A and B are shown apart, each in its own frame.
Chain A
Amino acid sequence: MPKDLRTYLADIHREVPDELVCIEREVNPANYDCTAIIKHLDALKKFPVVVFERPLNLHGEVSPVKLMLNAEISQSKAQIALGVPRTMSRMAMAEECLNREKRPVKPVVVSRDEAPVKEVIQTGADVDLYHLPCMRHHEMDGGPYVDMASVLVDRHNGIYNLSYHRMEIKSPNLTSMLVVPRHAWRIFRDYEEAGLECPVATVLGHHPAFNMGAAYRGMYEDDEYEMIGAYLQEPLRLVPSETWGDRLLVPADAEVVIEGALLPGRRQVDGPFGEAPGYLGPQRYLDSLHYEVRAITRRRDAIMQTIITPEGDKPWLDLPREGAYLRRAREAVPGVTAVCKAGRHAHFNIFIAMKKTSEGDPGRAAAAVASFDHSKNIFVFDDDIDVFNPADILWALATRVQPHADITITPMMYKGNELDPSLLDEVYECKTSIMIVDATRPLGRPFSPVSKCPDDAMARVQLEDYIPREVLDRIPLDRTSYWA
């Protein structure tokens, strides 16, 4: 059975049944009902997969399509999505992503009869985005949005590219699509300069490994359907789209697919919209494309997915990026052991751990990761620091850094990320400076060892020999100390 959202939900139900919550009560996603529920759960540090069984659509009716959030939030769910052991560390998961990306898997094309996403097909006058349970995600959002991965194909070499874009729903058959100048922009602009419509499709629900593969950050020439196959560990099944036929293949096992055309010379006002860094991305126009929706296909009992900026981790998006950062850092310094780019605290902060063999290693590793536009504040640590633990990071900064010697701030000469609210100029320069903090211990002189209990004592003294297990289990975890 090919992997899809249903097989993933079955895995979740089997392995972590308490982390799947189905809400039967009617909700209005366009009135922030779903946002409020997710945020309340976030505040409790609970991140279950949430399925809304009876969401209202934009017509105010109970939609035949269900709505799902949080499918990939939390490390444990990312482990289940990737099919890796639940004991696998975060760094090992990033390395697993890197290893899979080295072995792309070519997709297979199936017929319409074999494609569940073709169970319901709406084209022409039947196209109506308002029948979907679309959300308003945040206060001040410009309107209801969809924000899952969109598919474009290079018209010269047939390479497929997937990426995530905010899409404000303007009318039953029109959305905007905000595109920053990376691979999707390059593909679209090639069509636009030739005066051609650019084929596009958006996938609103699939196996989380599909969504993770769609976040791949590699070379333009890498076919991202093949990368998704690598993440799924099986060929991705594709089917010709209704709008473009073989010119644009779409995932056969998706829940909902929107198809259409990005029109040349046309733009739409888009935003504001709450973005991944946790701030409202401002309203835009010049890079917000006109997405004319020409077909909506779905499963008969489809479950539509959407993303909302979490309070905590979003490993499905960060793991592919961490793999990319790890690869680049190791190309410069083989001794790099870990790179953290996870969670809200690490959106423009990068934390690197390494076995340093030269005093210049931290600078080289920092320079390597500085080539990504999400890199603004780069911190380098020894490998005894857990770069996924903020308490460890802050302890190392407090005790291993002399600011006058260990902090380097560059001029404002690097392309900044358009989502960074601290940028001083977004219109003409969009440039940022970079800070590099070397929090590694010096090689050339003695440095106070970390105080600890001897390893042989830790191995010799077993806790259960002194405190019975039943007493140990009754001692509650103490969360009163934030820094513990």
Chain B
Amino acid sequence: MGICAAVECPQCHKEFVVSPSMLKADTRLIVGPATQPGRIEFHCPWCNVSFPQEQSPRIRE
């Protein structure tokens, strides 16, 4: 698996690297009072958009 997966941005279609721990994860993995329930969104460093995993056209692990 390695320490990174590569995620394609749905807007600019460039790839950036993310931790595999972000894939299919949600905020309830945080132990303690979770004030941000829900899914984690990726942030594209190229075009500055945030998007949920399902919107990425391609994820390479």
Contacts and interface: CB of A to CB of B under 8 A. Distances in A.
Nearest to B44: A142
B16 A285 contact: no
B32 A265 contact: yes
B2 A423 contact: yes
A21 interface: no
B29 A425 contact: no
Contacts of B46: 140
Interface stretch (A226-234, A276-284, A385-393): A276-284
Interface stretch (A266-274, A336-344, A472-480): A266-274
A195 B30 contact: no
A283 B17 contact: yes
Interface residues of B, number: 30
Interface in B13-29: 16-22, 25, 27, 29
Contact of A266 (B1, B31, B35): B35
Contacts of B25: 285-286
A426 interface: yes
| Interface size grouping (class) on chain A | 20 to 34
A197 to B, nearest CB: 12
B16 A426 contact: no
A116 interface: no
Contact of B32 (A143, A264, A272, A280): A264
B28 to A, nearest CB: 11
A383 interface: no
B59 to A, nearest CB: 12
A421 interface: yes
Contacts of B42: 269, 283
A193 B32 contact: yes
B51 to A, nearest CB: 11
A282 B4 contact: yes
Contacts of A272: 16-18, 45
B2 A426 contact: yes
A141 B18 contact: no
A286 B34 CA distance: 12
A192 interface: yes
A263 B45 CA distance: 24
A195 B40 CA distance: 22
A265 B36 contact: yes
B20 A427 contact: yes
A193 B34 CA distance: 11
Nearest to A191: B32
Contact of B3 (A142, A143, A282, A285): A282
Contact of A280 (B2, B17, B21, B27): B17
Interface in A248-303: 263-267, 269, 271-272, 280, 282-286
B22 A285 contact: yes
A345 B28 CA distance: 39
Contact of B1 (A263, A269, A285, A427): A427
Contact of B40 (A192, A264, A285, A418): A285
Contacts of B27: 267
B30 A427 contact: no
Contacts of A427: 1, 19-21
A420 interface: yes
Nearest to A430: B3
Contact of B33 (A140, A142, A195, A424): A195
B45 A286 contact: no
Contacts of B40: 269, 285
Given A265-B35, A427-B19, 7 more contacts: A142-B43, A195-B33, A269-B22, A283-B22, A286-B29, A286-B30, A426-B4
- Of all A-B residue pairs in the complex, the 8 with the closest CB atoms, nearest first, are A426-B3, A282-B4, A265-B33, A282-B17, A283-B18, A142-B45, A284-B19, A192-B32
7 contacts: A195-B32, A272-B18, A282-B3, A283-B16, A285-B19, A286-B25, A423-B2
